[in-house]
Amino acid sequence: MLFAVGKSKESKLLLRLMWSAVFMSALLLSTGRPAAAGPARRVLILHSYDASFSWTVQIDAGMRAVLDTIEPPIECSVEYMDAKRRSDEKHLEELRQSYEATYHTVKFDAILSSDNDSFNFLRRWRDELFPGAPVFFCGVNFYRDEMLEGLSGFTGIAETSDYQSTIDLMLRLHPATRRILIIHDATTTGKAQHAEMAPSLDVFKERVGFDFLIDATLAQVDQAVSALKSDSLVLLAFFAVDKDGARISYADMARRVRENCPVPVYAVSDAYLGYGIVGGRLTRAEDQGGAAAGMLARFLTGSQVSNIPVQKEAPTRFMFDARELARFGISRDRLPPDSSVIGSGPCLQFFNSLDYAPGLCVDSLHEPGDSGGIRWSDVHVMSRCVARMPVFLEDDDRLDFLNRIGRLVENVDMTVHAFCVMPNHYHLLCETPQGGLWTLRKISMVEPSKLHREWFGVCAAVTEELPGPQRRSLSWIARR
């Protein structure tokens, strides 16, 4: 069985001890932080899109990674404007009224904003809804200084996509290219990106021709890319809503283009990486969210907003997918220095560690017949894909993974007391009374999703002893 409530006295005692440990850990955390002097500081996070949008998820993760380090801790309120679905004036007015009703008695110390719709909303109504609260933005396409004329207390990260470096790379890797098809939607982001890329395209007008597919239906996209000739390439910009209003995730869009397209596809955002693009000079949502939250942290520790200038270039890096490189016969020797390549070498890292906690006892007896080996009784297993790439893309992936873990548990002497499956990683709380080393190795053979069963082969076990007499770690690396 997958989730077990112990059948023996020992198992029940173990569960009681685990819950005691959780309670004591929470108590230690609550008492170990310095007490706030006066009322807790409050931060509003206003996202342009909905909570399931992958770009927003990554930006929020970057923000949280920084906010969680701030002492004393802050209180966060989060709102999602869902502007990919609706961005008309009626919707904006409904949001204004809703925020006014919800927060009219709340004074925020600062606001974090992601992407253009949130940024524009706050430019328009910040002083009315949240007077005095400084705004730290990220993900703003086609930023210009005049956007902040007449406003105070605004700073952040401009989202710049490195079209010039990406197109230059495309032409170097594919010197016979004559045409590049650029695809994007007609949302606020799509329009801003079109304006942003124009100067970069002028640099290459003597070397290659550009065609645009803007505000098309998904069927029209399928038809256009399937008809491309061998001397063409695709540059996939942001596309989330088609002409008919149908929404599509970045992952599904990249997969769809790849399935219908006979030529290489490139992009300028890591939102598409791992789903069908070769690569490019990519901007990362998580980096932008973290940078904006870092500015907010500087403000909370005494810096004036006027002394925190707008960062006009977002962090980018060359990133590629090994599968697509192999598909089109592109040697890694031809990639720019310091490029990151996903999908080969150490791709999935499984970190399985044992730590002593209040009320928990860890068995560290030798395995019979395994000289110097370690036998674990109770273990927390955590695995996450490198580069924080998503491994569970849909509910079917999660159910499939849990079913396979369940079948494994039925055939080995192991009990899984609890589990947590997240988009790019999972946690298992296991009991392995007959020895953990070889039992836990079998967990590493369970690929997280059908996608990764296609990508990766057999897992190789590598053991590593960490500093400290009471702590050991086991790391498995899945190799192509």
Task: Report pLDDT digits (tens) over 318-374.
Answer: 999 988 999 999 999 999 998 988 875 333 333 223 222 222 222 322 333 333 333
Residue 12 falls inside a structural domain: no
CB 114 within 8 A of CB 56: yes
Q: Do 294 and 274 belong together in one domain?
A: no
CB 228 within 8 A of CB 263: yes
Q: Do 104 and 209 belong together in one domain?
A: no
pLDDT band at 4 (very low <50, low <70, confident <90, very high): very low
Q: Do 260 and 360 belong together in one domain?
A: no
Q: Residue 292 has what pLDDT?
A: 95
Look at strands 154-159 and 135-141 and give their pairing: parallel
pLDDT band at 53 (very low <50, low <70, confident <90, very high): confident
Strand segments (E) across 135-290: 135-141, 154-159, 179-184, 209-214, 232-236, 265-267, 279-283
Check whether 286 has a pLDDT greater than 90.
Answer: no
**Each residue's pLDDT tens digit, 121-175:** 999 999 999 999 999 999 998 888 999 999 999 999 998 888 999 999 999 999 9
- What percent of the chain is predicted at pLDDT more than 70? 70
Q: Cα-flanking dihedrals φ and ψ of residue 273, to 5°?
A: -70, 135
Q: Residue 405 has what pLDDT?
A: 74
Structure tokens of 204?
A: 């290459």
Q: Do 331 and 230 belong together in one domain?
A: yes
Residue 5 falls inside a structural domain: no
Residue 97 falls inside a structural domain: yes
Check whether 35 has a pLDDT greater than 90.
Answer: no
Q: Do 83 and 143 belong together in one domain?
A: yes
Check whether 375 has a pLDDT greater than 70.
Answer: no
Residue 390 falls inside a structural domain: yes
Q: Which residue has the tokens 């403000």?
A: 299
We report the CATH number of the domain holding residue 240 as: 3.40.50.2300
Check whether 195 has a pLDDT greater than 50.
Answer: yes
How far, in Å, CA of 480 to CA of 469, rounded? Answer: 34
Q: Do 327 and 216 belong together in one domain?
A: yes
Check whether 24 has a pLDDT greater than 80.
Answer: no
Q: Do 414 and 454 belong together in one domain?
A: yes
Q: Do 90 and 60 belong together in one domain?
A: yes
First to last CA, the chain: 31
Q: Do 206 and 229 belong together in one domain?
A: yes
Q: Do 183 and 320 belong together in one domain?
A: yes
Q: Which residue has the tokens 């923000």?
A: 63
Burial class (CB in 10 A: 0-12, 13-18, 19+), 403: exposed
Cβ count within 10 A of residue 416: 20
Decide: helix, strand or coil at residue 1. coil
Q: Which residues neighbour 468 within 8 Å (Cβ) at sequence distance 6 or greater? A: none
User: How many domains does the chain divide into?
Assistant: 3
- What percent of the chain is predicted at pLDDT more than 90? 44
Decide: helix, strand or coil at residue 376. coil
Residue 414 falls inside a structural domain: yes
We report the CATH number of the domain holding residue 471 as: 3.30.70
Residue 243 falls inside a structural domain: yes
Q: Residue 311 has what pLDDT?
A: 92
Q: What is the mean pLDDT of the chain?
A: 76
Q: Do 459 and 351 belong together in one domain?
A: yes
Measure the CA angle with vertex 107, ends 286 and 308; round to 5°: 45
pLDDT band at 27 (very low <50, low <70, confident <90, very high): very low
Q: Residue 28 has what pLDDT?
A: 45
Burial class (CB in 10 A: 0-12, 13-18, 19+), 147: middle
Q: Do 170 and 235 belong together in one domain?
A: yes
Higher pLDDT, 465 or 75: 75
Q: Residue 327 has what pLDDT?
A: 93
Q: Residue 192 has what pLDDT?
A: 81
**For 303-336, b where at least 16 C-beta lie within 10 A, e where not — what string?**
eebeebebbeebebbbbbbbbbbeeeebeeeebe
Residue 14 falls inside a structural domain: no
pLDDT band at 464 (very low <50, low <70, confident <90, very high): very low
pLDDT band at 90 (very low <50, low <70, confident <90, very high): very high
Domain, as residue range, for 205: 163-283+316-342
Residue type, 291: A
Q: Residue 116 has what pLDDT?
A: 92
Across 210-232, average pLDDT? 94
* Ramachandran region, residue 388 (left: φ > 0; alpha: ψ -120 to 50; beta: rest): left
Q: Residue 7 has what pLDDT?
A: 45
Residue 211 falls inside a structural domain: yes
